[in-house]
Amino acid sequence: MAAQPIDVYIAYAQADAALMDDLRNQLSAAERIGLVDTWHDGEIAIGSDRETASRQAMDEAEIILLLLSADFFASEDLYEREMQQALQLGNSGQATVLPVLLRDCTWQLSPLADLQILPRNGQAVTSKHWPSADQAFKAVVDEVIQISNNIRQQQGGDPTVYRPTANPQAKQQKDKASAPKSRSNLFRNALLVLAAFAVISFGVNSFLGPNNNDLDPPGFDDHGVPTTTTPNPNATDGAAEESTAPTLVNQQLIDTRNQKQYPTVQLGQLYWMSKNLDFAVPEQSWCADDRPDNCQSGGRLYNFDAARTACPEGWRLPSRQEWLALSEVELAGLQLNFNGVYDRGGRRQKGRVGYYWSNDRSSGGEAWAIEIRSGNSRDDESRYVHWGMSCRCVSEN
């Protein structure tokens, strides 16, 4: 079954109809490949009730674009009905609300002040900052495409299906030209596998010797991490000393406090959880939107003090520098979630940004957090310690 496009609702003032059309034109390529499907009040059928039709369309939307200008805020219907409905849907997690600054206005005095404005630099589409409105709208559409891909991934879809395909004939010629090389690569890889198998077999037999059946199977310590028996090279009597250093079986860590399992990946000298932590710290952690299923899918959200104590024994929060040292490829391997953040205004930026605590305080009741965006771009930001964010834990063992 073909993936359904992401429904995008556009709210705008009639005075900005021409700018709205420019934005839709920029979105047309994404519409043609089936990534998004835009809706605005110009699509209401003649004779239909406008308020009912727009309410229904917004309820079904996954992304809501609010095109801001003085005329937008002067409109009773836009301010009191459409904007309020959009904020309710955004706060409930049903939709991602994106304010787009078309013309300079005092939007900071509105309930939209806590949301991320587009374009991200805060410069209006029509301002002299932009060489052309097309460049400004391109920046906006890039964000919409990224968020749409994030939503599709969360729904189990593959964002790559939305990339335009190359010329089929050119692709066939390229595949044909590379076929001999591919066959030679297969033969070479097969030889490498056989050689590796031989080396491993020799090494295992040399280590185990004739008494390999006498070795005890691995046990588990109090933290759910298996222990192994390793020989002591400094021993003089030939006896092996037992080591309880934690290792990982099939790259899975078991938290014996609640039997949760976490896949892990080794990056440099550290093991990283590749799944968000889900261990309850009373009064200081919670499930997003107070829904237990959100904890199962995206882990819990923690304030800073809880985050520093929530990791299993032998594991800890990464430092700010350990986060920043990761490459985009390594960040992709961690499969980070875009859970947004909880502040005094409730949950925001769900589906667009992932916020993760580091182990480092900054100043003035704040601590360093890492902001992850689509494409695994990242920034470090100082945030209030009472905000709720996700956690990943690391270990040197």
pLDDT tens per residue, range 301-350: 999 999 999 999 999 999 999 998 888 888 888 888 776 666 544 555 56
How far apart, in whole angstroms, are the C-alpha atoms of residue 395 and residue 397? 5
The answer to whether residue 120 is domain-embedded is yes
- Where do we find the tokens 């609010």? 66
Tell whether 83 and 155 lie within a shared domain. yes
The whole-number pLDDT of residue 351 equals: 62
Residue 62 lies inside a defined structural domain of this protein: yes
Note whether 365 and 316 are same-domain residues: yes
**Cβ-based neighbour number of residue 313 at 10 Å:** 15
What backbone torsions phi and psi does residue 228 show, to the nearest 5 degrees? -130, 155
Judgement on whether residues 58 and 29 belong to the same structural domain of the protein: yes
Burial state string for 213-239 with b = 16 or more CB within 10 A and e = fewer than 16? eeeeeeeeeebbbeeeeeeeeeeeeee
Per the domain annotation, does 196 fall within a domain?
Answer: no
Domain that holds residue 344: 252-395
**What angle is formed at CA 355 by the lines to CA 345 and CA 346, rounded to 5 degrees?**
15
Where does residue 200 rank: exposed (0-12), middle (13-18), buried (19+ CB within 10 A)? exposed
Residues 6 or more apart whose CB falls under 8 angstroms from that of 146 comprise 352, 373, 374, 375
Q: How much is the pLDDT for 294?
A: 83
Q: In the chain, which residues have pLDDT < 50?
A: 1, 159-184, 199-249, 344-345
In a domain, 232, yes or no: yes
pLDDT attached to residue 2:
56
Predicted pLDDT at 212? 38
User: Same domain for 260 and 361?
Assistant: yes
| 236 and 298 together in one domain | no
- pLDDT computed for residue 165 by the predictor: 35
| pLDDT (0 to 100) of residue 216 | 37
| CA pseudo-torsion sign 217, 221, 227, 232 | negative
Tell me if 140 sits within 8 A of 8, measured CB to CB: no
CB atoms under 10 Å from CB of 361, counted, come to 15
CB 39, CB 61: distance < 8 Å: yes
Please indicate, yes or no, whether residues 231 and 372 belong to a single structural domain of this protein. Answer: no
Residues 258, 226 share a domain: no
- End-of-domain residue from the set 141, 160, 179: 160
Domains of the chain: total: 3
Position 197 in a domain: no
**Same domain membership, residue 328 and residue 239:** no
Whether 268 maps to a domain, the answer reads yes
Query: Would 175 be classed as within a structural domain?
Result: no
Pairing of strands 6-11, 36-39: parallel
Q: How far, in Å, CA of 336 to CA of 324, rounded?
A: 14
Question: 254-277: string of b/e by CB count within 10 Å (b at 16+)?
Answer: bbeeeebebebeebeebbbbbbbb
Q: What is the pLDDT of residue 208?
A: 41
Residues 289 and 233 in one domain: no
